[in-house]
Amino acid sequence: MLDKIRQLDQLVLDNISKMHSPVLNFIMKTASRSANVGIIWFVICLPFLFNREWRNTGFNFLAALVIAHLMGEGLIKHLVKRVRPCHSLDDDEQIINRPRFYSFPSGHTTASFAMVGVAMLRCRMIVFLPILFLAILISFSRIYLRVHYLTDVVVGAVLGFSCGVASVLVFQALGF
Tens-place pLDDT, residues 46-75: 999 999 999 999 999 999 999 999 999 999
Q: What does the DSSP 8-state code read for residue 35?
A: T
Over 90: is that where the pLDDT of 89 sits? no
Q: What is the pLDDT of residue 90?
A: 67
Contact call for residues 164 and 115 (beta carbons, < 8 A): yes
Is the residue at 79 inside a domain?
A: yes
Is the residue at 23 inside a domain?
A: no
Is the residue at 131 inside a domain?
A: yes
Domain range for 152 is: 37-173
Is the residue at 80 inside a domain?
A: yes
Q: What is the pLDDT of residue 94?
A: 77
In percent, the amount of the chain with pLDDT more than 70 equals: 97
Mean pLDDT of the chain: 93
Is the residue at 94 inside a domain?
A: yes
Query: Can you tell me the mean pLDDT for 20-24?
Result: 94
Instruction: Count the alpha carbons within 13 Å of 42 in the hemisphere toward its beta carbon.
Output: 8
Count the domains in the chain: 1
